[in-house]
Amino acid sequence: MSTSNRGRKLKSFTTATISTLAIFGVLLLLNLMVASSKARGWDVTEERMHSLSPAAAEVIRSLPEPLTVNAYISGDHPAAYDEFIRSLGILLDQYADASHVEREVEVLENGQNVKKRKRMQLVSWQKIDPDKLPRSKEQLHEDWLKSRAKALGKSLDEVRKLDDAGDASLGKDPSKDVVQRTQADLAAEGIRRRPAYTREGTSISKQDIYLTLQLEFRGQKRALIFEGNPPVPEGLEFQFTKLLKELAFGRKKLGITAGNGEADPRETTVFRQSLDQLFEVSEVKLGQPGEAAKLANLDGLIVAGPRKPLPDDALRAIDGFVMRGKPVLFLVDGMTFEGQTPQDAQMGQDKPYLGQATTHGLDKLLEAYGFKVDANTLIDASHNTTGFVVNGNDGFPAPALFPVLERLANGKAEPLDGMKSMALGFVSSLQNLEGKRAKTEQLIPFARTSGASFSFDQGLMIVAPGMKLDPKAGKAGPFVVGYAARGTFRSAFASPPAGSDAMSVAPAAGEQSPDKTRVAVLGDSDCLSDLNVMMAQQLGSPDLVTGISAVTNVAAWMMEDAALSRIRNKGTVRKLTTVSSGDRTLIKFGNVLGPPFLLIGFGLVAWRLRVRRRRKLKL
């Protein structure tokens, strides 16, 4: 082999080696940067289940001042709690990352206040192990005395006497430090150990641990205590954002009408619990003395399906509420259905399940706001869910009476924001009377039936097993069953009556509501019943409970407080895979070192193949 060939080969080998080492170094550096960064990973789920909701980020960035979160978690906790604690840490990191904003602040420069843009972080958090804190100030003081006695070579009694005399030679007493926290301080703020039960085979063990978040804002503190053994990560984002929002902004007050044939509160417990998560809810029995005055303290009102005509002063109270720019959601049944009660069955009385037009007395009010609820029931034999009619102690399936709605206004900031499906039973159609409103800034038909639906509007309707309904006997769909409007509404009353209390008095003749007032109407109130929840569980038909979610969403839209509804509609988070610390270390080093070594291996294989090809060419 000539000297020149050897030189070329040596040069080629040197160049390849330097290039490989350079690529190796770059890849190693990039991997180390990614591994040490704050990156949480990539969320590849379609609904961004493991990412912070945009609605939660909006709430955080609207905070007027920074908020501090202390996560009081025992370092010594059962392994079964690892997944929840890890998910909690990831979520708090996401809140902190999303809370970086630019704000205009006043700073003192040359003796003058100057406004400047400043970048700040609105949410910060830290993890604290309360088990490492002293039990109380007394214990902290006693431990300090013992340490001073040992350091000074004196007895504990001698040091106590010096302490009682206020001898400065003892130094600073840490128990006098107001910043120093103790377990007793935490207990006074509602932060205590909770029992953690774990099962190993047939035995159950118990360990008392700390597992509480404490949010601090403007000197106020609120604790978020987690239930479950262990708690589950699902719903964490909603719980945290809800508490944060209440602490920073308070809760809006929402009234629900009662006393005029509306459903018994004991029969709508799930719906009321759903509202309680978002608002401070109270009943208003319009038509009774003094009840109308309660409206003055409310931020919104739900007229929850009255089955009796509302008295004139109740209608005027609602109208006055709207004329003051307050939002109202009307749940109105076009037809009311009644059948055999369990008591009737015991007495041997056989009653058909009968529907007839509802006498709610709201027509005048709704017409003034540009809406009309038709006295009908909508039927859909094609797009429906498994509904059940309960009559006395018996019942029968009637899916055609439970249409699955085809069109939902479920985009961002729309009334059904985030909802995927919706079904309503015994629902009635609505009409939009456009010319009645003084000004319509926005009109949203937020729910509509399919084109295969039709209406029954022949007065009395008898519902029985195997009933046959002719689509040609009614009007053909689709039908709008829910409207939401924002704009200026005219009063339904020309003049106020004499001798009424202040909140019952309608505005003067011709007065209108302020602009941007919100009014929504849904042609159904039966969807609020707990019966739908029981049927959904027994029949495996989850669409039956969507009416409760829908009404809650629309209420949030009209109260301009839809952020929490959007977070709650986000869906169920899939379980994160738990990896042991040893496995995580192996994965981390494999991620850092694996790609470069794979590249080197690929280069070596390519080099050997090239050498082999050259040898064959020489032959």
Question: Residue 211 belongs to a domain with what CATH number?
Answer: 3.40.30
pLDDT at position 346 is 66
Cα gap 496→485, rounded to integer Å: 25
Q: Please state the φ and ψ torsions of residue 165, each to the nearest 5 degrees.
A: -85, -5
409/541 same-domain check: yes
pLDDT at residue 577, rounded to an integer = 46
> Is 280 in the same domain as 381?
yes
The token pair that represents 554 in the structure block: 């629309």
Strands 394-397 and 388-391, sheet pairing:
antiparallel
578: pLDDT confidence band, cut at 50, 70 and 90?
Answer: very low
* Better pLDDT: 508 or 412: 412
Q: How confident is the model at residue 284 (pLDDT cuts 50, 70, 90)?
A: very high
Do both 329 and 427 map to the same domain?
Answer: yes
Residues 315 and 365 in one domain: yes
- Asked whether residue 145 carries a pLDDT value surpassing 80, the answer given is yes
- What mean pLDDT is predicted for residues 460-488? 86
- Is residue 321 domain-shared with residue 420, that is, in the same domain? yes
Q: Check whether residue 141 and residue 122 sit in a common domain.
A: no
Whether the pLDDT of residue 252 is over 50: the answer is yes
For the ranges 207-216, 260-269, 537-546, which has the lowest average pLDDT?
537-546
Over residues 359-368, the pLDDT tens digits come to 999 999 999 9
**Listed residues 161, 176, 191: the one ending a domain:** 176
Q: Is residue 454 part of a domain?
A: yes
| Boundary (domain end) residue, out of 149, 176, 203 | 176
Question: CB-side exposure of 603: number of CA atoms within 13 Å?
Answer: 16
Query: Does 44 reside within a domain?
Result: no
What is the per-residue pLDDT for 406?
83
**b or e along 435-452 (b: 16 or more beta carbons within 10 Å of the residue's beta carbon)?**
ebbeebeeebbbbbbbeb
Cα angle 266, 269, 270 (rounded to 5 degrees) comes to 155
Report yes or no on 241 lying in a domain: no
Check residue 508 and give its pLDDT: 46
Domain-located, residue 90:
yes
Is 581 part of a structural domain of the chain? no
- Domain match, 360 and 430 both: yes
Q: Which residue has the tokens 């209390």?
A: 501
Residue 367 shares a structural domain with residue 481: yes
Handedness of CA 577, 583, 584, 587 (dihedral sign): negative
In a domain, 314, yes or no: yes
pLDDT reported for residue 213: 94
546 within domain boundaries: yes
Q: Dihedral of the CA atoms 193, 198, 204, 208 (nearest 10)? A: -10
Give mean pLDDT, residues 511-524. Answer: 93
How many domains does the chain divide into? Answer: 5
- 170 and 88 in a common domain: no
**pLDDT per residue over 87-114, tens digit each?**
999 999 999 999 999 887 777 777 777 7
Same domain for 200 and 166, yes or no, is no
Question: 384 and 480 in one domain?
Answer: yes
Question: In sequence order, what are the residues at sequence separation of 6 or more whose Cβ sits closer than 8 angstroms to the Cβ of residue 199?
Answer: 205
Whether residue 523 contacts residue 481, with contact meaning beta carbons closer than 8 Å, is answered with yes
**pLDDT, mean of residues 231-257:** 90
Condensed to tens digits (0 to 9), the pLDDT of residues 25-63 reads 766 666 666 555 444 555 545 555 568 888 888 889 999
Lowest mean pLDDT among 253-262, 299-308, 492-501: 492-501
Asked, for residue 402, whether it belongs to a domain, the answer is yes
Structural domain span for residue 342: 252-568
Looking at the structure, do residues 456 and 542 belong to the same domain, yes or no? Answer: yes
The tens digit of pLDDT for each residue in 424-443 reads 999 999 999 988 888 999 99
Contacts of residue 354, Cβ cutoff 8 Å, sequence gap at least 6 = 337, 338, 339, 460, 461, 462, 463
DSSP conformation class of 373 = E
